[in-house]
Structure 1
Amino acid sequence: MTLPGHPFLTARDDGLWLEGLPLLELARRFGTPLYAYSRNAMRAAAASYQRALAGRPHLLCYAMKANSSLAVLQTFAEAGCGFDIVSGGELQRVLAAGAPASRIVFSGVGKTHDEMRQALDAGVRCFNVESEPELAALSEVASSLGRRAPMSLRVNPDVDAGTHPYISTGLKANKFGVAHERALSVYRQARELPGIEVVGIDCHIGSQITSASPYLDALDRLLDLVDALAADGIDLRHIDLGGGLGITYTDEEPPSAEDLVRQMLARIDERGHGHREILLEPGRSLVGNAGVLLASVLYLKPGEEKNFCIVDAAMNDLVRPAMYQAWMRIEPCVRRTTQARTWDVVGPVCESGDWLGHDRKLAVEPGDVLAVLSAGAYGMTMASNYNTRPRAAEVMVDGDAVHLIRERESVAQLFAGEKLIAG
C-alpha cells in the first residue's frame, strides 16, 4: 500500500519500503540520522510538469534551494531541466553536476558584483532582477566585461498566496521583486542601460501554495504588464511563472502540476501570449515527497504532562518544525503490535524548540527507526552543525539499488578550518 502523496513509499507487512528497498535496511547499512531519496519520485514529478508543457517552448527550472545535493541536481539535469539559483555557490554546484549554464536563471535579492561576474563568465541564461539598484549594478558589471546581461524583472504582484508568512514572497510587505506599479518604469530604465538586454518577466509569489487561484491572479497582473510593455515597444521572449506549488504533508490537496500548468497556459493563450516561451521554477513539488529522514529512537521518557520519544535526529538535521511549526508525518519503519502511546518526538539538541513532531501516536521501543516523511525539500539543504553535530549522510534509491550520495560528516571536519591563537 502506497502512502498518500508518496507514490514510491509503500507500507508492507515487514515495514516501510522506499522503491525496492526497506527503510530499516538503509538505516542499518548507513546509520542514522539518514536522508533517503527516491530517484524515480523526482523523475516522475518533473515529468508531470513536462507533460503539461509539451508542444510549446519551455524550460522547467528546478529551484535548487529546496535540495542542492549534487546527485539530486544530476537527476534533474539528466531529465532535461534547467535550474533556478540564488547564489554563486549554487551556480558552482549546478556546473559541478554537469548542467550547462545556458539552462540557469539567477534569482535572489542580494546578488553581489562578484556573483554577477561569475554568472556572466559562465554564460547563464538570465538574471531575474529584483530592484532598481541591482539593475544598475548588473549593467555596470556587464559593461565592464564588454557584455550585455540578459535580464528578466521579478515583479511583485501584491497577491496573497495563502501560505506561511515566512514563505510568502508576493506581497508588498515582502522583500522580493519590484512593485507591479513600478515595473513599467523599471523596464524603461533597463531598455536604456548599456549592459542590459531585456528578455523576459518573472513572478514568484511564495511556497507551499495549495490552490490555483493565487497563481491565476498573479498571472493576470503579469500579463497586463506584458501587454503594456509590448505597447511601449518592449517585446519579451519569455514569461517566468515561478514555482511554489505545495505538496501533501497532512491533508492538503494541492492541484497536480499538470492541472495547474494547464490552467495557467490556458489563461496565457486566452490573452494572446501563447507564442512566448514559458519558464517555471518548481522546487518543493519536485523533491519534497521524494525524501525521508530516518532517525533511531534513543530513549523513551514518560512524564507527567508529556511523553518524550528522544531520537538521534534533531533541529540541526531538520529545522522546518522549529522554524515554521511545520507538521511532518512520522512513521515507524517497522510496525509493532504493542499499544501505541502519545509522544513528542524530540532530538538531543539543547533547545526546547528541538522537536520533530508533537503529540504523535506511536508504538515504539528504544532502538526502533522512525521515518519523517516529506523531508526531501528544505531538509538537508537547511541543515546546520549546531551543538557541533555532524550533518547526516544522504542516499539515493533507484529501484532496488542504493547510492551513497553524501558521506556523513566527521567532527574533525567541522573545525578543520579553525585556528588556535598562537602563544
Structure 2
Amino acid sequence: MQSSLPNEQFLQIAKEFGTPVYVYHAEKIKTQYEKLVNAFSVLDTKFFYACKALTNINVLRYIKSIGCNIDCSSINEVKLALHAGFEPRNVLYTSNGIAFDEIEEAVSYGVNVNIDSLSNLEKFGKKFGHNYPVGIRIRPNIMAGGNIKISTGHSKSKFGIPVEQLDELKRIVKENNIHIRTLHLHTGSEIKEVDVFIKGMEVLFELMPHFPELEVLDLGGGFKVPYHPHEKEIDVVAIGAGLKKAFDEHPTADHKKLQVWFEPGKFLVCEAGYLLTQVNVLKANNGVTIAGVNTGLNHLIRPMMYDAYHHITNISNPAGAEQHYMVTGYICETDTFADDRLLNEVREGDCLLFHNAGAYGFEMSSNYNSRYKPAEVLVKDGGAQLIRKREEWDDLLKNQVI
C-alpha cells in the first residue's frame, strides 16, 4: 500500500516534530472529495463532512476551503464548525440521545437539525411548531457495515426512529404542525455493497408521501475505504448511477425535485492520515519477534476496539529482508497493533508508518497511563505545518484542582 507522501518527507517530519505524530495530507482529502462530487454529479447532491472523524480546526478550515459542508454529532462540534468559518446553512447537526436543550442551542445557531427520537421531536414541535424546518432520522432496519459496533441501521440499533413507529411519528408531526424537510438514515460504517444505499433510498421513497414538505433525502455516510492492501474502496460511481436510476424510475420523479445529502467522514480523511512511530525495543518471544513502539491504544485504539487492520510499513529500512513481527504499544495493557505482520527488517530506532489513521485516530486518543497526546502535522502544498502541539507535563494537570 503506497502512501500519498514520500518516505523521505515522513522521516523529515519525524526528525522535526518527533514521534509519535499524526500526519495529514491535505491534497489527498481534496482528491477524495472530488471523487464524490464527480460520482454524484448525476444528482442534485450536497456533501457534509462527518467531522467526528477528525476535528482539528485546521483540517476543518481546509475542508471548508475545498467547498465541502460539515456534519456534526454534538453541539461542541457545531461550535467548532462555526468557529472554523462554516455558514450555519452549511452545518448539519444530527442529534443522538441528547437532552433537548442541546437541540434548542443548535436551533439558536440557525444550523440544519436532524432529530432521532419521538420524544425530542414532540418537544421540538411544541417549542417551534412549523417555524423551523427539521429533519428526522429513521432507523431502516438494514444491517450494514464491517463491524457490529459501527453498524447503526439494524433492528437493535439505538439510532433513529424505527420505521415501524411511522403512525406515532405522523401523529406527532400533525398535532404539532412540524415542518419536516429532511428524511435521514445512516446504516453504518465500512459499507462496501452498493445495494445498501439503494435499499436505504427505497425506504425513504416509501416514507415520502407522508411528508409533503419534503426537500431532502439524506443517506448518511459509511463509504468503504481500503485498509488491507488487496482491498478496494466502494464504487461511488456505481452508487451515483444506481441512485439516479432509482430516482428516474420512481413515480414522483417528474413531480418533485429532491436534493440528496451524504455525510462522508472516514472516506475523506482516513487515507489522508498517518501515525508515525519509532521502535523502542525488539524482544524475542516464543519464536516471534515483538517490535515495541512509542505509541499505544491511547493514541490509536481502533485495533483493540474494533479488531481493525492498519497497514504498517518500515520507512527507515524499506529494502530490508521481510520478516514476521508482532507490533505492540507501550501501554500497561495488551495493545497489539499487528499480530503476525510481514515487515521489512525492523531495527530499534526505525520509524514505522501506520496507514489509514486519519479517521478516529487522534480523535479517539486519550491520556491513558498518563501519556501525552501526540502532535498533529498537516502537509499542504508540499510543506509540513504543525497544527497541534504535543502535550507536555502541564497539560496532564491543567484541569485538576490541586
Mapped to 1, the partners of 2:323 and 2:39 lie a distance apart of: 45
Mapped to 2, the partners of 1:115 and 1:172 lie a distance apart of: 26
Contact 1:210–1:252 under 8 Å retained in 2: no
Determine whether 1:95 maps to 2:82.
yes
Mapped to 2, the partners of 1:265 and 1:243 lie a distance apart of: 17
Out of 114-123 and 89-98, give the one that drifted further: 114-123
Which residue in the other structure is 2:196 paired with? 214
1:131 partner amino acid: S
The gaps in structure 1 that reach 5 residues or longer are 11-15
Structure 1 residue 82: deviation in Å?
1.4
Mapped to 1, the partners of 2:263 and 2:192 lie a distance apart of: 16
Mapped to 2, the partners of 1:365 and 1:200 lie a distance apart of: 55
Mapped to 1, the partners of 2:239 and 2:391 lie a distance apart of: 40
Which residue in the other structure is 1:342 paired with? 324
Contact 1:131–1:177 under 8 Å retained in 2: yes
The gaps in structure 2 that reach 5 residues or longer are none
2:38 partner amino acid: R
- Counterparts of 1:129-168 in structure 2, within 5 Å, are 129-142=115-128, 148-168=131-151
Question: Deviations 1:191-250 (Å, cap 9, x if unpaired)?
Answer: 4325x4211100100001111111212221221111x325xxx23011111100010001
Contact 1:311–1:346 under 8 Å retained in 2: yes
Question: Deviations 1:375-418 (Å, cap 9, x if unpaired)?
Answer: 01110111111111111111111131111111111121122111
Contact 1:88–1:118 under 8 Å retained in 2: yes
Mapped to 1, the partners of 2:281 and 2:263 lie a distance apart of: 42
Mapped to 2, the partners of 1:264 and 1:45 lie a distance apart of: 20
Contact 2:22–2:377 under 8 Å retained in 1: yes
Which residue in the other structure is 1:253 paired with? 232
Contact 2:122–2:172 under 8 Å retained in 1: no
Aligned residue for 1:391, secondary structure, equals: coil
Which residue in the other structure is 1:318 paired with? 300
Aligned residue for 1:72, secondary structure, equals: helix
Mapped to 2, the partners of 1:382 and 1:157 lie a distance apart of: 28
Mapped to 2, the partners of 1:212 and 1:99 lie a distance apart of: 31
Which residue in the other structure is 2:92 paired with? 105
Mapped to 2, the partners of 1:188 and 1:330 lie a distance apart of: 53
Contact 2:145–2:189 under 8 Å retained in 1: no
Aligned residue for 2:288, secondary structure, equals: coil
1:134 partner amino acid: N
Q: Please report the TM-score for the alignment, with normalisation by the length of structure 1.
A: 0.89
Contact 1:138–1:149 under 8 Å retained in 2: no
Aligned residue for 1:59, secondary structure, equals: strand
Determine whether 1:388 maps to 2:370.
yes
Contact 1:191–1:197 under 8 Å retained in 2: no
Across the aligned residues of Structure 1 and Structure 2, the Cα RMSD in angstroms comes to 1.9
Mapped to 1, the partners of 2:218 and 2:380 lie a distance apart of: 31
Q: Please report the TM-score for the alignment, with normalisation by the length of structure 2.
A: 0.93
Which residue in the other structure is 1:275 paired with? 257
Structure 1 residue 262: deviation in Å?
2.8
Determine whether 1:25 maps to 2:7.
no
Out of 176-185 and 288-297, give the one that drifted further: 176-185
Mapped to 1, the partners of 2:142 and 2:59 lie a distance apart of: 31
Contact 2:179–2:213 under 8 Å retained in 1: no
Which residue in the other structure is 1:355 paired with? 336
Structure 1 residue 162: deviation in Å?
4.5
Question: Deviations 1:149-176 (Å, cap 9, x if unpaired)?
Answer: 3211111111121420000011111111
Equivalenced residue count is 397
